[in-house]
Structure 1
């Protein structure tokens, strides 16, 4: 058969042929919001299958139909699984409006419908069915696949006319592969069976399936739903608060091991919730639901009344809307996602506010430090300026005094200069007078020489002594006169 070309390396390829050319389409088996399941027979082999017609979303803006990525994810997961307790995918076709999944025909109906028709149910029978559910989920979890929509409607019987009916897990429309290190959040599933982490829009993992198994087990043993409220909001509030109990009216015939099994599954903290391996190893499962007390083992095991389970299934079917998948919850999911984005924005805004507040406080601190520094610098500058002004005034005062001293000195020098001039004049006059006196005396000496020409020796001596005496007298007189004049 011709195959459609792939849109991208990761896109699934479906047969682009009319499914009616290869299968006879029969009666309707069930329907959802965007899917309808019909019985079909393969023309070439005569084998019967179930054809699931999934309405494709025609545009990204449209909200009618299922987007191609979700259909491809469901097909990809179904192609990976092959287990006795999981429905098998046979083939996939595609036309203009639908993708058609040809699935293993599961004709035994829902498990709860089957059990509700029984008069009573022993814990041993209950554990045999729970064990099959656990086996199927264990296979999925080993492949890191979470079903995310485990509920009574998706737990079917292959054939109810066998002594021990074979369970099949169906509807992988919400299933996801959990990747290590990749955070996955979403709001989906049926409110009555979803785990708290789904309601709280927290990271999801395989643990969500274990919570759903705990709810299913609770209902199977009691016919009552542990968290179901009068409204959807009340149901979700009960889930997040883990508000449930083992009412004696419903659990009077239930063993403590069964209650312990449920308690360890309905745990809000995912790390403390039983894993699939731990659930399979729980004494209630490994003992086959047998009573633990010796006195109970000696008697016939108590039978669980199925009347309430029958009432529960009737109520569920009578109140079941056409879309019994959690696509009904899509609008609520969008609102919660929007609220989560708003909350994230508010947290980011709060973080930015805190950061801005820290920056403002830092700036204020820096400003205060700078202001204190400038104040200190200003005080220092003012002190230095005051000191400079004082020194300047001091210098100006000294300058004034020096100017006055210079003026006084200048005046004194002028007086000295004038006195010097007078002394010089007096010295000159004295010099002239002495010169005249010396000349006169020279003439007198010369006169003595002429008169005593005969006495050369005595005249010569007299002449020498007279000359020296006159010179000495002249020198001493001149010196005393000059000094006296200067002192004046």
Structure 2
């Protein structure tokens, strides 16, 4: 049955494309005979899933092929046919995230990034985007149909594999990655499940790289960090949450080459944590059990890719120029040249692919057509209740968002006030410590000043005592001198003229001596 995917604002060609479902019979006469009720159930499914308009539902018709589907967590891939041309494509339905709070579905930014990258690329080894549509719940990518299955599944079916064959497949992977890296696009999810064959029924199948959900354009000067991908294949810089670049793809190619040549995974541990620890430690070796038939050139190629330091890891151009990739002839060691080309056993690769598929979550596509119809009928019955719940949820969500907004505002205000109070308290503590320090200095200065004043007072008392002694001495000397001068004056009257000259000189000398003695005593008393 064809179900229309409504073209949305991102569609370009405007051609009507329909998703195909069928039971695998040559026609749908059995389903048509099921009656009007069954037909109405299909129309409900159509309307519920893709919002089909009545004018388009009239164009629904039948197709005689079984549609194969591959499912992911939030995407499902189905084979489809373009109505106007009859050409087959793969329709990838990506479930849109309905709200920012929801964890189900893919956010629009990631979907638009994947579409933007797919629109930029056009290379024989990369899946091609044909068109894009959008409905209420999904974005639909119309992609090139790659029906040959996974590369590892194809190789696991072979009894043996030569290194030359392995090299040819790795070379195709490198060519596709080289095209991406020239456009500064990193795939970030290179692993066996994303390496498909266009057609496995030709001698040398053509490889196609698929799934660009994690791809990212690397911009110069813009740091990009993320933790994503499959643990077994991620580079150390992803595990360590370091800036990412094109080098992460080269690490993944090294892991893929290791598995392709040996059937063993280089870093796989018993737990995810052990696997990641092995990656960060670059803990691997070339076990002779797995690599006894592998050339040294192939091992050297792997060694130069599994390098922790991104600057020392091979770039895509260097990988393409590696002798193991460049050589078209025998890649064996010289001592093996005379023997038949060494064949790599694919038994371990077969075991590896079986283990990987068994560990995958079960496919949640409805392969039973009748069961799907009943489920759709049940969905129609609960749809009304779901709508009511959705409305209540939206109302509650609005209330919660309003409360969260108020809480965030209050929390921001409290944080601001708390920060301001902490700042003021810190300033007060600083001022208090400053005042205490000044008080200590003042007390020390007062003590020093008091000590100095006491010393000055003692010296002053001493000087006063000296002055008093000097005064008394001077008073006694003055009295003696006065008496001496008086005696000279009495004798002067009784002497003659010759004696008067002698007496005058004596009086002058005594006066000068008296003045000099007083001055020296005063000066001496002032010395501390």
Structure 2 length normalisation: TM-score?
0.62
1:241 deviation in Å?
1.4
Asked if 1:22 corresponds to 2:17, the answer is: yes
- Correspondence for 2:214: 174
- Correspondence for 1:297: 337
Is contact 2:184–2:246 with CA below 8 Å preserved after alignment?
Answer: yes
Greater shift, 231-240 or 166-175, is seen at 231-240
Distance in 2, matches of 1:323 and 1:61, equals 27
Q: Which residue, 147, 155, 160 being the options, matches 2:195?
A: 155
Identify unmatched segments of 5+ residues in structure 1: 5-12, 325-358, 407-488
User: In the TM superposition, what whole-angstrom CA distance separates every residue of 1:424-460 from its partner, at most 9, and x where no partner exists?
Assistant: xxxxxxxxxxxxxxxxxxxxxxxxxxxxxxxxxxxxx
Distance in 1, matches of 2:470 and 2:299, equals 120
- Correspondence for 1:205: 245
Larger Rg: 1
- Correspondence for 1:413: none
Distance in 2, matches of 1:66 and 1:29, equals 19
CA distance 1:3–1:118, change in 2 (3 Å): closer
Distance in 1, matches of 2:354 and 2:462, equals 118
1:301 deviation in Å?
1.2
Distance in 1, matches of 2:257 and 2:341, equals 18
Asked if 1:193 corresponds to 2:258, the answer is: no
Is contact 2:13–2:131 with CA below 8 Å preserved after alignment?
Answer: no
Correspondence 1:428-443 to 2 at 5 A: none
- Correspondence for 1:88: 128
**SS of 2:278 mapped into structure 1:** helix
Is contact 1:16–1:95 with CA below 8 Å preserved after alignment?
Answer: no
Is contact 1:224–1:250 with CA below 8 Å preserved after alignment?
Answer: yes
Distance in 2, matches of 1:257 and 1:16, equals 48
1:321 deviation in Å?
1.5
Distance in 2, matches of 1:16 and 1:291, equals 48
Is contact 1:17–1:94 with CA below 8 Å preserved after alignment?
Answer: no
- Correspondence for 2:320: 280
Is contact 2:12–2:131 with CA below 8 Å preserved after alignment?
Answer: no
CA distance 1:289–1:71, change in 2 (3 Å): farther
Asked if 1:390 corresponds to 2:430, the answer is: no
**SS of 1:15 mapped into structure 2:** coil
User: In the TM superposition, what whole-angstrom CA distance separates every residue of 1:85-141 from its partner, at most 9, and x where no partner exists?
Assistant: 000001100011000000000011100111111111100000000000000001111
Q: Which residue, 263, 266, 269 being the options, matches 2:303?
A: 263
Is contact 2:295–2:333 with CA below 8 Å preserved after alignment?
Answer: no
Distance in 1, matches of 2:245 and 2:81, equals 38
User: In the TM superposition, what whole-angstrom CA distance separates every residue of 1:237-293 from its partner, at most 9, and x where no partner exists?
Assistant: 111111111111111110010011111111111111111111111110001372253
Asked if 1:317 corresponds to 2:382, the answer is: no
Distance in 2, matches of 1:226 and 1:215, equals 7
Identify unmatched segments of 5+ residues in structure 2: 1-5, 22-66, 365-425, 472-528
User: In the TM superposition, what whole-angstrom CA distance separates every residue of 1:386-407 from its partner, at most 9, and x where no partner exists?
Assistant: 333333455467679989999x
Structure 1 length normalisation: TM-score?
0.67
- Correspondence for 2:141: 101
1:294 deviation in Å?
2.8
Distance in 1, matches of 2:304 and 2:100, equals 42
Asked if 1:242 corresponds to 2:282, the answer is: yes
Is contact 1:14–1:93 with CA below 8 Å preserved after alignment?
Answer: yes
Distance in 1, matches of 2:246 and 2:460, equals 94
Distance in 2, matches of 1:200 and 1:322, equals 31
